[in-house]
Amino acid sequence: MSFPELHQPQEPSGHAPVVLLHGGNVANWMWDPQLPALKDRLVVTPHLPGFGERTSELWPGLGEVADDIVQRVRDLTGHDRFHVVGLSLGGAVALHLAARHPKAALSVLASGVPLLPVTGIPRIATRLHLALWRQAWFWKAQAAAFRLPADSRGPYVDHGLSVRKETARAMLADVHSGRIPEGLSTYDGPLLLVAGEREPRTVLRSLAAAATLVPRATTRLVPNMHHVWNIEDPDLFDTMIRDWLAEQD
């Protein structure tokens, strides 16, 4: 199934485009619940290299992916400036985009990003994840653990099986390094870091450390939410995005 990257507003508006960057092990279809709430804007939901319709590509690194997204948005829309929203892997890419292309990112909202290195049991779990990468039952268990609704579990399993293990290994090593993008400290646009209250411990620790690591960022903890909470509670996620964008307009 093909999932479009460009979504035109229902009516012309003066709003700047918004770019939604998907998480790892999924593709741009994860943003389907948000599209109706953003129907007054030009929305871009790009496929990251190695995912979605780009599974044949290698993972080039977070910085290079950020460069790729800026160029892809320009090619698709003709716009040089846009708001950026990212979850998990997409949030990490969003921070690198802000650091490398500060004039392109009008604002950044990143949810569920590890700003500290992932170590201990989560790191061991990652090795197990890679060992079981080709097992459909494992992806089904992951979908249940993330509390994905029934209609999202099929695409999640199918897409997970389509991603190359080499891509996943390189991407996870990149994200789990917990690197603060060089240059992020000089980004002067609005920056919001968010985490669900029931996220992995590294993400929660990262949010708590953000005051030191990314002192310009505003931080928010969302009660009762897990990692993929744009699907877990789409109405709440939609409200957050719309309120955030309204503040920037």
Per-residue pLDDT of 21-69, as tens digits, reads 999 888 899 999 999 999 999 999 999 999 999 999 999 999 999 999 9
pLDDT tens readout for residues 105-162? 999 999 999 999 988 887 888 888 888 888 888 889 888 877 777 887 888 888 888 8
* Tens digits of residue pLDDT in 213-248: 999 999 999 999 999 899 889 999 999 999 999 999
Task: Flag whether pLDDT at 2 surpasses 80.
Answer: no
Phi–psi pair at 175, nearest 5 degrees: -70, -40
Instruction: Quote the pTM value.
Output: 0.93
What's the CATH superfamily of 6-248? Alpha/Beta hydrolase fold, catalytic domain (3.40.50.1820)
Domain boundaries, the chain: 6-248
**Model confidence pLDDT, tens digit, residues 191-215:** 999 999 999 999 999 999 998 999 9
DSSP H helices, the chain, are: 62-77, 89-100, 121-131, 136-145, 150-162, 165-176, 201-213, 229-232, 234-248
pLDDT at residue 97 above 90?
Answer: yes
CB 80 within 8 A of CB 74: yes
